[in-house]
Amino acid sequence: MVENTAARRVEKLSAVKGMNDILPPESARWEAFEAQVRVLMRRFGYENIRTPIVEPTALFVRGLGEVTDIVEKEMYSFEDRLNGEALTLRPESTASVVRAVVEHSLLYNGGKRLYYMGPMFRHERPQRGRYRQFHQIGAEALGFSGGEVDAELILMACALWKEIGLTDVALQLNSLGQPSERLQHRSALIAHFERNMDVLDEEAKRRLHLNPLRLLDSKNPAMQGAIEAAPKLLDFLGEASRAHLDTVTSILSANGVAFSINPRLVRGMDYYNLTVFEFVTTKLGSQGTICAGGRYDYLMEQIGGKPAPAVGWAMGVERVLELLKEQGLDTVGAPLDAYAVIPEVSALPRAMACIQQLRDAGVCVTMHTSTPDGMASMKSQFKKADASGARYALVFGPEELAQGGVTVKALRETGIPQVIQPLDHPAQWAKSLQSNA
Ligand code: ATP
Ligand code: MG
């Protein structure tokens, strides 16, 4: 019976808007970057933490603040169909890390330095450098109050830029002071914007008395003049807050780290106090912030734990990699060592036994595979071997196998003689295939 296949064709599915597949070869850049980050974190004594992607909605509402962009309009929140729980796909990880630290009493014998990497979710308008699922790498130092830890985190980010070769980033710093200082600034801020009501958009008007600091974070061009002229939190800082900022800046200067003080830098969440900072580039359009963070000494308490100071940052992996691409540094060379050419199906068991031992010895090998018609011609197998980027072809031909050997043929470099190696003792010659051996 002949069926109408066209009519039965299944509708194609695609990824959710703003959520990307990360495919080879680009995924190799991701892996390499993540590996560099892991090494660096270890060097600074930061340990890995992995928290769930789904959290109770209340964690973010309480942690980030009700009147923030994320909580007001960007969260993927839903009700669990089975038990009605209010859940949210994490829009960031600081609140989750703090929850986990409190839940497991991780600070029982002193401070903890932690890092994480993984996907975050925000319902924003997708554009270059702004996605609905994106990836952050974050570092959090919890239980430490000194400004030297703020500086350590900033130096760690700088070390990462250096490690990966990123040059075009500028560091901006500010201090948000302490709650009492903010309260005084708040009154001055409200009074200032009340005098400038005509330029405020609807959102700003609504937020003015709820959370006036948020107005400084507005991207509305019409409001920039009023934002420029607004009273600066820096002018409301007391002695201790100033001293904290001085500690940070003097350590940065001693390390040759350039920075500028941006009195209008306030960050998007309510949990920050004292130091806030952003690493910014001009190369990615308006999505120029690649890493941002600050101190959040009151979040632990707000989430229901014992009060403890903390500081951290999060970087947008997509933006960092995009910037590397701008600088022409996006390729990573990790070619295959060898491609197995297997002329006959009957050779597969012996060939794969040999390949397995090569892999055990650290050689990167892929192999040609069969179709229902058997193995392809030598010519087309060699074509594939060439296209794979492998440095060597391993030929498991009947003549070689008969004498217990496999032919090793260089595919790229000239002047390397073709040799037959012992099939049953791959460990003896595995090293000769490895570029870094
Ligand atoms: P922006 O002002 O660009 O919206 P943000 O203040 O909301 O950034 P944070 O919450 O501080 O960003 O997140 C830290 C970093 O994560 C940002 O500096 C950025 O590099 C990255 N990031 C934030 N939102 C997105 C997104 N939607 N897509 C890609 N990267 C993002
Ligand atoms: Mg945002």
For residues 277 and 422, membership in a common domain is answered with no
Pocket flag, ligand 1, residue 95 (CB < 6 Å) = no
The position carrying tokens 């070689």 is 400
Which ligand is the nearest neighbour of the Cα of 60? Answer: 1
Pocket flag, ligand 1, residue 292 (CB < 6 Å) = yes
- Residue 334: the pLDDT is 66
**Helix runs in 44-131, H state only:** 57-64, 69, 94-103
**CA nearest neighbour of 273 among 233, 304, 305, 303:** 233
Non-local (6+) Cβ contacts of 344 within 8 A are 374, 375, 398
Mean pLDDT of 126-141: 97
For residues 185 and 165, membership in a common domain is answered with no
Chain-wide mean pLDDT for the chain?
94
Percent of the chain whose predicted confidence (pLDDT) is above 90: 88
Give exposure, 210-243, as e/b (b: 16+ Cβ within 10 Å): ebbbbbbbbeeeebeebbeebbbbbebbeeebee
- CB contact at 8 A, 299 and 353: no
Q: What is the CATH number of the domain that holds 342?
A: 3.40.50.800
- CB contact at 8 A, 337 and 53: no
What span, in angstroms and rounded, lies between the C-alpha atoms of 269 and 274? 13
- CB contact at 8 A, 253 and 212: no
For residues 210 and 248, membership in a common domain is answered with no
CA of 240 to the centre of ligand 1 (A): 30
Percent of the chain whose predicted confidence (pLDDT) is above 70: 97
Pocket probe for ligand 1: among 60, 64, 319, 324, the residue whose CB has the most ligand atoms within 8 Å is: 319
Question: Domain range for residue 215?
Answer: 180-236
342-377 pLDDT, tens digit per residue, is 999 999 999 999 999 999 999 999 999 999 999 999
Q: CA–CA distance from 10 to each of 16, 123, 144, 356, 388 (Å)? A: 18, 29, 57, 39, 32
- CB contact at 8 A, 22 and 134: no
- Residue 168: the pLDDT is 85
392-424 pLDDT, tens digit per residue, is 999 999 999 999 999 999 999 899 999 999 999
CA of 339 to the centre of ligand 1 (A): 42
For residues 269 and 149, membership in a common domain is answered with yes
Of the residues 306, 326, 346, which one is the last residue of a structural domain? Answer: 326
- Residue 286: the pLDDT is 79
Pocket flag, ligand 1, residue 234 (CB < 6 Å) = no
- Residue 328: the pLDDT is 86
Question: Per residue, what are the HEC states of 348-372?
Answer: HHHHHHHHHHHHHCCCCEEECCCEC
For residues 52 and 94, membership in a common domain is answered with yes
List the residue whose alpha carbon is closest to atom 16 of ligand 1.
Answer: 316
Would you place residue 127 in the very low, low, confident or very high pLDDT band (cuts 50, 70, 90)? Answer: very high
List phi, psi (to 5°) of 140. -135, 130
What span, in angstroms and rounded, lies between the C-alpha atoms of 132 and 146? 35
- Residue 283: the pLDDT is 84
